[in-house]
Homo-oligomer: A and B are copies of this chain.
Amino acid sequence: MSTLVTDVDSSRMLKALRLAQKGLGTTSPNPPVGALIYAGDKLIGQGYHEKAGEDHAERRAVQDAINHGNGYLLKGATLYVTLEPCSSYGKTPPCTCVILQSGLARVVYGMQDPDERHRGRAKALLEAKGVQVCTGVQEEACSVFLRPWVYSLQTGLPWVTAKVGCTLDSRLVRLNERWISCKEALRFMHELRLQSDAILVGGTTVRTDDPALTIRTPISQVPACKQQPWRVVLTRDRSLLPANARLFTDSYAERTLVYERVEEFQAVLSELRDRYGVVRLMLECGGNLLRQFLEHGLVREWVQDIAPIICGGNASMIPGEDYLPNELHLSEVTIQQAGIDFILRGLVKS
């Protein structure tokens, strides 16, 4: 059975990946996945996974074909999907069933399911039924995109992105000015929140800034199924949090979680994943808590907005005079301009 991969396959997979990106921030604990169906050169159906418990990308693409009167073209068609189709009953029936029922002749997928219980199973199952299967098409792009989800699956912890807005001298607070970041940088940070399942701060931030921690991008950019992220407060003593803080009084108050177990970061993160399905978590805390997260080795990604200001003061991004026990080094670093600021992003090398 030929598994020849063509440039056409590659470019269709990238298109499926762009579709998958629409699910970013709404599918957790499931991965965002995109799927396309082609009958010859004709795109007959497309879909992406939107929310856990709802249809997977493959089923939505098949349904989309049917809805557009293309159902009769499914037999013999090719499915492109960014992740190996599921093969077991979860909240919905397995995608392999849908594929076989539809009479699809060929399935091309980007990356294997990393879960040992599923890895390669769909391939074997489909091939046994005479479906041609091509794997590893745009694998690098698909796996970079799903890196946080894979990490979370394998460690049982959310993928933590530390977000910092600071001056050139790494100060988090200016004298007599509420904001450090320019408005373009703030907008960018709200777009990052859109991709997050939870935002974590410390008690000090709640007391001093009284943040809302909500997504405030233009409503047109927010998927209808997107809930506000969980707003997680880590504090020594919950009784010291002001009862009238926005997190407890605004219309998303039920999305606020308070943890007092400040010595057990890993346990808190683990619970956030298991109980609340948090795969991607943004750390938006002050310097002291950030330092502790770094010392615990729990930060995977770094996003730093740098304002072209030098101000001094006592609010260091990494406070204290001691060195970190282990230096952090970033890889895959990129930098982009946002208004007058620069936003630097990178992965924490492990």
Contacts and interface: CB of A to CB of B under 8 A. Distances in A.
Given A168-B344, A342-B335, A318 B327 contact: no
Given A169-B316, A170-B169, A323 B311 contact: yes
A168 B170 contact: yes
Interface stretch (A121-129, A267-275, A302-310): A302-310
Given A169-B317, A169-B318, A330-B168, A346 B308 contact: yes
A174 interface: yes
A324 B312 contact: yes
A294 interface: yes
Contacts of A308: 329-331, 333, 344, 346
Given A169-B170, A342-B344, A329 B309 contact: yes
Interface residues of A, number: 38
A317 B329 CA distance: 19
Contacts of A342: 333, 335, 344
Nearest to A168: B304
Contacts of A309: 327-330
Interface string A237-257: 000000000000000000000
Interface of A: 168-171, 174-175, 291, 294, 302, 304, 306, 308-314, 316-318, 320-324, 327-331, 333, 335, 337, 340, 342, 344, 346
22 contacts: A168-B170, A169-B170, A169-B317, A170-B316, A171-B318, A291-B312, A302-B310, A308-B330, A308-B344, A308-B346, A309-B330, A310-B318, A310-B328, A311-B327, A312-B318, A313-B323, A313-B324, A314-B322, A333-B340, A335-B335, A335-B337, A342-B344
